[in-house]
Amino acid sequence: MRNLAHQNTPIGWDYLTPQSYLALAPGGRERPVAAIVHGDFAPPPRPWPQIHSHLPPLDGAARVEVLSSAAAATFEREDGFDLLLADDFMIAAGRFEEAGGESLAAGTERLYATLLRLIADRGYPHLLRLWNILERINREQDGLERYRHFCIGRHEAFARMRPDLAERYPAASAVGAGGGGLCVYLIAARSPGTPIENPNQVSAFRYPAQYGPRSPSFSRALVKQWGAHANLFISGTASITGHETQHAGDLAAQAERTADNLETLVRAAEQRSGTRFRLGDSGSMLKAYVRRAEDYPLVGDLVARRLGRDASVLYLRADICRAALLIEVDGVLFA
């Protein structure tokens, strides 16, 4: 079920075809605990969260990103949210569809506040990783880019519900899709992880006001120790130095700078945690978000050259949170 035997943390990862996914048995030793569906595939209901990303794979074939665990787990639903509870971790997923006059900022705040309440009520208060997929993320709405409306709502929910997280945020990414409203899913735990920052970048939560009324609320990465093993959850990483976008319009240069930032981030995580993570080996589960579908062949070559051909990379068509960015990479590493 897991991509590799050395994924020894409580949560394993794999990218499956729809056929392989449908063949999974809920009663096996290693059971799915969540599935993120990328592309044109509508699986039947299963006893775990199934999240439709609205992000098509660039090779044209649907994929299912499967999280798995050998731990006993319980699937619940509450207030429209899908919840998966295991011994050491919890997965939660929810969606805000813009209807009924509620603003994007208000809907985001409500969605986040509910998720924060659900994980706290069940005893998993420590956020490790958040994924945000926002319909038309770069479109202007009421005089402000939609991503910035989202950042306002997320910031307000954290400030109201979890002020203790200030400057100790979880890892996160936010990319844009052609539909689906706002989808948020997360991994939380009973014990905390260690946030990691890139020394070559301004922390996102300290961005100057030119990027919006509220700064983005995430850390560049997070290390989670699970006994003798660990995960490095890497946030969405792109061609940014300091707080400024680099190489606008130049895909090759952006991909190189993105790879530089990934390598710097992994080194920072290793120095902070004392744990060795190998970026680009067969234990790397990465996603590359590409703005222009026609750039897929070049992006594939660039990523393989810089990060190696052993890494598992899922290439998705997505908009990036800054309009000038053409590529973003996130992922999870195992140690």
Q: Which of 116, 319, 126 is nearest to 233 (CA)?
A: 126
- Provide CB contacts within 8 A for 57, sequence distance 6+: 38, 39, 63, 314, 315, 316, 317
Residues identified as active-site: 328
Alpha helix ranges (H) inside the chain = 18-22, 104-121, 146-161, 251-273, 296-307
Confidence of residue 242 (pLDDT cuts 50, 70, 90): very high
pLDDT in tens, 78-106: 989 999 999 999 999 999 998 878 999 99
Asked if pLDDT for residue 1 goes beyond 60, the answer is: no
User: What are the DSSP calls for 38-65, one per residue?
Assistant: ESS--PPP-SS-EEE----BTTS--EEE
The CA distance from 144 to 286, in Å, is 31
Domains, the chain, with CATH or none: 12-334 (3.30.1330.40)
Report angle CA 202, 203, 207 to the nearest 5 degrees.
75
Cα–Cα distance list, 154 to 113, 121, 161, 247 (Å): 9, 19, 11, 29
pLDDT grade, residue 283 (50/70/90)? confident
User: Which pLDDT band, with edges at 50, 70 and 90, does 276 fall under?
Assistant: very high
Q: Are 265 and 332 in contact (CB under 8 A)?
A: no
DSSP state of 169: P
CA distance linking residue 216 with residue 313, whole number of Å? 26
Q: What is the pLDDT of residues 10-37, one digit of tens each?
A: 999 999 999 999 999 777 777 899 999 9
Q: What is the pLDDT of residue 6?
A: 52
Strand order from edge to edge, sheet including 63-69: 12-16, 63-69, 31-38, 50-52
Per-residue model confidence (pLDDT) at position 311 = 85
Q: What is the mean pLDDT of residues 178-192?
A: 98
Q: What pLDDT, on a 0 to 100 scale, did the predictor assign at position 289?
A: 99
The whole-angstrom separation of Cα 94 and Cα 186 is 9
> Roughly how many angstroms between the first and final C-alpha of the chain, as a whole number?
18
How many beta carbons lie within 10 A of that of residue 44, not counting itself?
A: 6
C-alpha neighbours within 13 Å on the C-beta side of residue 209 = 1
* pLDDT tens per residue, range 126-178: 999 999 999 999 999 999 999 999 999 999 999 999 999 988 999 999 999 99
Structure tokens at 277: 């993570």
Question: Which of the four pLDDT bands, split at 50, 70 and 90, describes residue 3?
Answer: low
Q: Lowest-confidence range among 96-105, 131-140, 241-250, 255-264? A: 96-105
Q: Does the pLDDT at position 5 exceed 50?
A: no
Q: Compute the distance between CA of residue 188 and CA of residue 91 in angstroms, rounded to an integer.
A: 6
Query: Pick from 96, 126, 93: which is nearest to 109 by CA?
Result: 96
| Residue 274 to residue 149: CA distance in whole angstroms | 38
Query: If you average pLDDT over residues 107-121, what whole number do you get?
Result: 98
**Tokens 């605990």 appear where?**
33
Q: How confident is the model at residue 136, as a pLDDT? A: 98
Q: Is 164 exposed, middle or buried (0-12, 13-18, 19+ CB in 10 A)?
A: exposed
User: Given this model, what pLDDT does residue 2 score?
Assistant: 54
Residue 41 burial by Cβ neighbours in a 10 Å radius (0-12, 13-18, 19+): middle
Share of the chain above pLDDT 90, in %: 89
